[in-house]
Amino acid sequence: MPLTDFSISNKQVLKFISYHKTSFDIGYIYPLDLFERFATINKLTMVECSCKVKQNIVYPMRFDISLFGSNYAQKLNHVMLFFQEINSRVGVNLNLEWLTTFFDRGFKFSAILGFNVAIDLRTELKDSRIKLLIGLNNQEYPEKVETALKSCGLESQQGIRTLLIHSSYLVIGFDLYLDGRYDSQLDITLKPDVLQNTEVHQYLLNLISASALRPVPLCNEFAVSFSQMSKDKAIYYDLKNLDDFSTGFSNCLRLSEVSKTIHSIYRSHSIATAMGVVVSDNEFRGDIIQNFNLKYRIYGRT
């Protein structure tokens, strides 16, 4: 969740989303129209369109937006109204209990650094989900950090606390499937220079594959992601430069050929200004990475 403070015009938002929809032949699917409307009635600092690849099958109906401004209590109200609107359709059953429990009375909104809303849609309604992600200053709100750790079964892992001390910020995610299932996510975000710390470097080598650290010098930041539903970890790379994906990043990690096709779609029109890559730690056991996410973004500017 890279952070920025400048808003994007509605025209830019719709143009970017439209380019992705056209490029990957995305037609109407619920609740994409509601998401687009929500994106245009709120000021945004970032728009992200992404593709999840599983064994050469591309799932492109994935969009993420960062909400502009610092009135996060108000933003939460807007998001909850949006989720309730989605929930009004027959056959949709969002489980909002985890959200309402986390944002309890007296929640310290001043500890929030960023507020993202995302959708990951499938042709089967039950497999679609919406997401709320918050960037949290973990030094300012240890109680909620503990809540997030417990939700992912990490509260007894001492090495995690070492990472927390050196982390830039946390991302806490709430994944709400349209059929009532839900998952929680915790991303510990780090700067590349943290690898110079011997203790942190060694713990990361014990936590994830050594080859997962190879692309880190090409990144503004990277994150180790945990979830409640999966024992596997994911590594998120926020690349310094889009062109680094075709050169340095691809030399570090061997992604399947479909990654080149997706990347060329975005590079041919120079429409995105930044990108990220997500790879599951299990993928590093093979010669070729078959399952990954490619994320393309635009940011607000002065």
**Of 228, 220, 214, nearest to 279 (Cα)?**
214
Examine residue 2 and state whether it is found in any structural domain, yes or no: no
- Res 287: pLDDT: 86
pLDDT at 26 over 60: yes
Examine residue 5 and state whether it is found in any structural domain, yes or no: no
**Which is higher by pLDDT, 285 or 118?**
118
- Res 156: pLDDT: 78
pLDDT at 288 over 70: yes
State the Cα–Cα distance between residues 299 and 302, nearest whole angstrom. 10
Examine residue 73 and state whether it is found in any structural domain, yes or no: yes
CA quadruple 21, 23, 24, 30: dihedral, nearest 10: 10
Examine residue 3 and state whether it is found in any structural domain, yes or no: no
Determine contact, residues 213/252, Cβ cutoff 8 Å: no
Query: Coil, strand or helix: which one is 200?
Result: helix
State the Cα–Cα distance between residues 163 and 147, nearest whole angstrom. 17
If one counts the domains in the chain, the total is: 1
- Res 246: pLDDT: 87
Examine residue 4 and state whether it is found in any structural domain, yes or no: no
Give the structural domain span for 89. 10-299
Examine residue 295 and state whether it is found in any structural domain, yes or no: yes
State the Cα–Cα distance between residues 48 and 31, nearest whole angstrom. 17
Count CA within 13 A, CB hemisphere, residue 34. Answer: 19
Q: What is the pLDDT of residues 28-62, one digit of tens each?
A: 999 999 999 999 999 999 999 999 999 999 999 99
Residue 55, by phi and psi: left (phi above 0), alpha (psi -120 to 50) or beta? Answer: left
pLDDT at 301 over 90: no
State the Cα–Cα distance between residues 266 and 23, nearest whole angstrom. 9
State the average pLDDT for the chain. Answer: 93
Instruction: Report residue 2's pLDDT band, with 50, 70 and 90 as the boundaries.
Output: low
- Alpha helices (runs of H) in 253-297, residue ranges in sequence order: 258-267
**Of 288, 158, 295, nearest to 223 (Cα)?**
295
pLDDT at 302 over 60: no
- Alpha helices (runs of H) in the chain, residue ranges in sequence order: 10-23, 32-41, 72-87, 97-102, 142-151, 158-166, 198-207, 248-252, 258-267
The verdict on pTM exceeding 0.85 is: yes
Examine residue 1 and state whether it is found in any structural domain, yes or no: no
pLDDT at 97 over 70: yes
Q: CA separation (Å) from 130 to 172, 185, 260?
A: 14, 13, 28
Average pLDDT rounded to a whole number, residues 125-148: 94
Examine residue 32 and state whether it is found in any structural domain, yes or no: yes
Instruction: Report residue 223's pLDDT band, with 50, 70 and 90 as the boundaries.
Output: very high
Which two structure tokens, joined as six digits, stand for 269? 């029109």
289 secondary structure, DSSP code: B
- Res 218: pLDDT: 96
Average pLDDT rounded to a whole number, residues 211-235: 94
- Res 5: pLDDT: 62
Q: What is the pLDDT of residues 239-270, one digit of tens each?
A: 999 989 988 888 888 899 999 999 999 988 88
Average pLDDT rounded to a whole number, residues 59-77: 93
- Res 4: pLDDT: 58
